[in-house]
């Protein structure tokens, strides 16, 4: 597979969408689109786009599943909010509606909180897909939410309705200050009304450019300023919303890491409003959530300590961990299979080797997850320099994350291309994202492993090998990995491992307990519902919300117990 194939595919999708979306919208308004799905998808297939047309208009399905479900909410005062900035066709909107349906049955008045062209840049956008190229970019959202509201009866709160003389003045003054920022570093340090707006926005800027670090270019600064203004605007208007919606008791929002959700979290915390963040993780139908924090931190140390072993026998904990790791090897618990057993690897060129495993630079599992290195690229540069500058008995193999080409991401940074320019030593081998190599062959045959924040670290520990952490994975400082406190400590550790002066035995019991708690306690699997759908396929086996709730009753009851503090 060509390295840039996915990127070209996404560019082609956007070009076709820009050209044909006005006509599709017209067909949609005339009620003709459904009958034209098959011929249009056939035409798209001839253009090399094997993707369901439904992905552009699946909010119709969402509205149909929840038809009339919220028509009788008038008079309910207890408010629960569902802010979302991922677009009306996101599967998370279907999940928001399902949560809303559940809480409506608990006596709450649910409302979606959305942007209707209030800001100049949002989290749907990236360097490939943006309103700059698509004049109807915002149309699908504001029209879609309006239709959902009319059909289901759910209240939709548009942030533009909270613009008044006071909020407009605050936004204008702050925007003026932002326009005067002259560098990316200044933008990153920008603080607004005590909130670290620059740090919050930085993650979204990286995500926009689909890369792990910024070079300080004028284009990067321009986009950074846009995200600062957008994040600040959302924050000001959401605060105004909370001041008016005095009965607001809770909020539920996706992920919580990127800027627009992060500013919502901060205002909820300031006003002591409990919130829950959720995300899809390791599988099509999985959901993981966290109260009053961003879920992708995976910070459940206190809950794990309080739960203990929850009455589960130690043998059962081990059996679950064994099952989990064996299933990972055959592609279970993944949205896409990245390693296939038939991709056996000829390891003979590598001799005795150490293996470093990269991450996707713009993944929320990596963005901001730094400790002793500024970012993952700096870590890799330092590794290459260390192996080049010192006499080594062990070779270094660098495995670039295969998802760079196997997942439909529009990455701009192909780490293999960068590393190839750096490598000058015959002791360093590069396995690029395009190479058909089974990661587990590397794990089984290497001396020890090096990671930034990859979950491969747990798999290395599982086979009883040392794993040295350079970034900030959720298992940092756990006794089954080595977590150096500084760069000096890091390379001292690597040197000792290379010379076999350091022996490290991973604490397998701690590993078993963490795997059991996160993947068999925190991670939930929804019945008949897919949150991640490759190529925008069907997202549910059900035709109405009642059946969805009935099939997932236990999940929602557990969610509510945690939200209300019953499990605390």
Q: For residue range 296-309, what is the model confidence (pLDDT) as tens digits?
A: 888 888 888 877 65
Segment 417-437, tens digit of pLDDT: 888 899 999 999 999 887 888
Residue 158 bridge partners (DSSP): 114
How far is the C-alpha of 209 from the C-alpha of 202, rounded, in Å? 11
pLDDT at 14: 64
Burial of 456 (0-12, 13-18, 19+ CB in 10 A): buried
| Per-residue model confidence (pLDDT) at position 346 | 82
The strand pairing partners of 83, in sequence order, are: 113
What the block records as the tokens of 458 is 């747990």
* pTM for this prediction: 0.88
Residues of the chain with pLDDT under 50: 1, 310-311, 335-338, 406-410, 568
The values of phi and psi at residue 547, to 5°, are -70, -35
- The interaxial angle of helices 508-517 and 314-329, nearest 10 deg, is 80
Cβ proximity of 516 and 485 under 8 Å: no
Name the strand (E) or helix (H) holding 562: helix 553-564
> Can you give the pLDDT at residue 567?
57
Amino acid 307: pLDDT: 73
pLDDT for 312 equals 57
Judge residue 565's burial from the number of C-beta atoms within 10 Å of its C-beta, 0-12 exposed, 13-18 middle, 19 or more buried. Answer: exposed
pLDDT at 301: 85
Which pLDDT does position 195 carry in this prediction? 93
E strand or H helix at 137: none
The per-residue pLDDT for 39 is: 80
Residue owning tokens 């995300």:
279
With tokens 């008949």, the residue in question is 528
Residues 6+ apart with CB under 8 A from 415: 358, 361, 377, 380, 400, 401, 404, 433
Closest CA to 91 of 417, 540, 467, 438: 540
- From the list 268, 301, 279, 258, the residue with the least C-alpha distance to 91 is 279
In this prediction, residue 466 carries a pLDDT of 98
Work out the end-to-end distance of the chain between its first and last CA atoms, rounded to an integer number of angstroms.
Answer: 49
């Amino acid at each position: 597979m060509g390295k840039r194939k996915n990127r070209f595919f996404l560019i082609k999708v956007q070009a076709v969408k820009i050209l044909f979306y006005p006509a599709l919208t017209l067909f949609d308004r005339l009620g003709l689109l459904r009958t034209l799905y098959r011929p249009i998808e056939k035409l798209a297939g001839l253009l090399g786009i094997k993707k369901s047309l439904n992905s552009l208009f699946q909010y119709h399905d969402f509205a149909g599943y929840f038809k009339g479900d919220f028509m009788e909410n008038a008079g309910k005062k207890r408010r629960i909010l569902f802010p979302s900035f991922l677009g009306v066709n996101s599967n998370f909107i279907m999940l928001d509606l399902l949560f809303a349906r559940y809480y409506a049955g608990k006596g709450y008045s649910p409302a979606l909180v959305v942007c209707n062209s209030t800001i100049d840049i949002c989290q749907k956008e990236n360097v490939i897909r943006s309103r700059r190229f698509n004049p109807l970019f915002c149309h699908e959202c504001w029209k879609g939410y309006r239709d959902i509201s009319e059909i289901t009866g759910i209240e939709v709160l548009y942030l533009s309705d909270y613009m008044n003389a006071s909020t407009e003045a605050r936004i204008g003054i702050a925007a003026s200050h932002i326009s005067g920022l002259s560098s990316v570093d200044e933008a990153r340090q920008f603080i607004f009304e005590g909130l670290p707006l620059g740090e919050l926005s930085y993650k979204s800027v990286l995500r926009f450019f689909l890369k792990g670090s910024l070079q300080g270019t004028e284009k990067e600064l321009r986009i950074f300023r846009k995200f600062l203004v957008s994040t600040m605007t959302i924050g000001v208007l959401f605060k105004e919303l909370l001041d008016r919606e005095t009965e607001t008791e809770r909020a539920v929002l996706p992920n919580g890491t990127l800027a627009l959700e992060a500013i919502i979290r901060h205002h909820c915390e300031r006003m002591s409003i409990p919130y829950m963040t959720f995300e899809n993780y390791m599988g099509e139908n999985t959901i993981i959530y966290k109260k009053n924090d961003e879920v992708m931190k995976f910070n459940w140390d206190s809950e794990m300590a309080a739960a203990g072993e929850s009455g589960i026998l130690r043998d059962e904990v081990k059996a679950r961990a064994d099952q989990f790791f064996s299933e990972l090897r055959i592609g279970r618990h993944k949205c896409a299979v990245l390693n296939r057993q038939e991709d056996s690897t000829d390891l003979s060129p590598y001799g005795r080797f150490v293996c470093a495993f990269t991450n996707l630079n713009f993944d929320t599992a990596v963005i901001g997850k730094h400790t002793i290195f500024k970012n993952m690229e700096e870590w890799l540069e330092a590794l290459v320099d260390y192996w080049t500058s010192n006499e080594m008995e062990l070779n270094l193999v660098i495995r670039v994350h295969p998802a760079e080409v196997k997942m439909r991401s529009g990455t701009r940074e192909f780490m293999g291309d960068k590393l190839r320019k750096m490598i000058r030593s015959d002791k360093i081998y590069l396995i690029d994202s395009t190479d058909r190599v089974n990661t587990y062959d590397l794990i089984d045959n290497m001396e020890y492993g090096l990671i930034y924040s990859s979950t491969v670290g747990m798999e290395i520990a599982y086979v009883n090998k040392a794993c040295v952490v350079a970034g900030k994975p959720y298992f940092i400082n756990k006794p089954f990995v080595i977590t150096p406190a500084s760069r000096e400590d890091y390379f001292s550790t690597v040197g000792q491992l290379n010379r076999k002066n350091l022996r490290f035995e991973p604490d397998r019991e701690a590993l078993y307990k963490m795997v059991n708690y996160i993947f068999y306690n925190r991670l939930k699997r929804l019945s008949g519902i897919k949150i991640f759908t490759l190529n925008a396929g069907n997202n549910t086996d059900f035709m109405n919300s009642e059946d969805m709730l009935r099939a997932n009753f236990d999940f929602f009851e557990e969610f509510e117990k945690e939200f209300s503090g019953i499990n605390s």
